Amino acid sequence: MRHFRFTLIILLMTAAFQSYGQSAPYKFDIGAELGMSGYIGDANRSSLMKHPGFVGEASFRYLPNVRWAIKGVLSAFTLSGNTADLDDVLPSTGEEAYDFKSTVYDLGARVEFNFFNYGIGETYKRLKRWSPYLTLGVGVCISSSGGGSSFAPNIPMGLGLKYKVSERVNLSAEFTMTKVFGDKVDGQLLSDLNTIKTAFYKNTDWYSRLTIGISYEFGKRCETCHYVD
């Protein structure tokens, strides 16, 4: 496992250095995404899409080169769950079943790594109109459920696929799982079950987002000034 991690780091560093000199033709990218949200926690421990919700996102990217992007994302989505779906009973709820509905607002910053040199251009640049990519970042979320609200940091991680429709227009499909460092996304009642306090780094709240998006690039670079191939 240690050798695998070391090899992965070397490959990512090599790709970064190889693509460093090949800037993207445009500096920025703005987009919008729609899709489904899912929840894993005390009220749902198995299927992400058992109680799907709706998610809407707005994104902004800085494009340093054809392999990397720095992305800011603002998301609004709904989550829901029901303990009636579980085989066991949660005594702390005070009833046989507990269901919740939450509205979540998430603000995050991510790094994206494209597997291929992503873009449209001359053959010698080895650009591809499509590319799978990985994404990892940090964020914060505010959730409201049952009249209460909570704030927590989080770590989103995921993968996706990009396709360049034209020089400036892109389509994408992305799936992310987000680890929440808090146990109140599903409401106050399911926090610290059975009077067992939840540690900051150890809890059962996760949420997912499966989205399809469109984006537009702008801020064209001056190739003569920046010596871009």
- 120-170 confidence digits (pLDDT tens): 976 677 899 999 999 999 999 999 887 788 899 999 999 999 999 999 999
Query: Is 203 in a helix, a strand, or coil?
Result: coil
- pTM for the model stands at 0.80
pLDDT of residue 183: 77
Q: Considering only residues 194 and 129, tell me which one the structure prediction assigns the higher pLDDT.
A: 129
Query: Residue 31 — very low, low, confident or very high, per pLDDT cuts 50/70/90?
Result: very high
Domains of the chain (ranges; CATH) run 23-222 (2.40.160.20)
User: Look-up: residue for tokens 């994104």?
Assistant: 59
**Phi first, then psi: what are they for 44, rounded to 5°?**
-165, 115
pLDDT of residue 15: 52
CA-CA-CA-CA torsion for 81, 84, 89, 90, nearest 10 degrees?
30
Query: Residue 19 — very low, low, confident or very high, per pLDDT cuts 50/70/90?
Result: very low
Catalogue the long-range contacts made by 218-222 (C-beta closer than 8 Å, 24 or more residues apart): 218/26, 218/27, 218/28, 218/29, 218/30, 218/168, 219/26, 219/27, 219/28, 220/25, 220/26, 220/27, 221/23, 221/24, 221/25, 221/26, 221/27
pLDDT of residue 95: 55
Cβ atoms 185, 208 nearer than 8 A: no
Residue 86 pLDDT > 90, yes or no?
no
CA 35 – CA 161 distance, rounded (Å) = 15
Query: Residue 8 — very low, low, confident or very high, per pLDDT cuts 50/70/90?
Result: very low
pLDDT of residue 49: 74
| Run of H or E residues at 12 | helix 2-20
CA 183 – CA 53 distance, rounded (Å) = 19
Q: What angle do CA 128, 133, 137 make, to 5 degrees?
A: 145
- 212-228 confidence digits (pLDDT tens): 999 999 999 886 654 55
pLDDT of residue 200: 46
Residue 205 pLDDT > 90, yes or no?
no
Q: Considering only residues 174 and 83, tell me which one the structure prediction assigns the higher pLDDT.
A: 174
CA-CA-CA-CA torsion for 57, 63, 68, 72, nearest 10 degrees?
-30
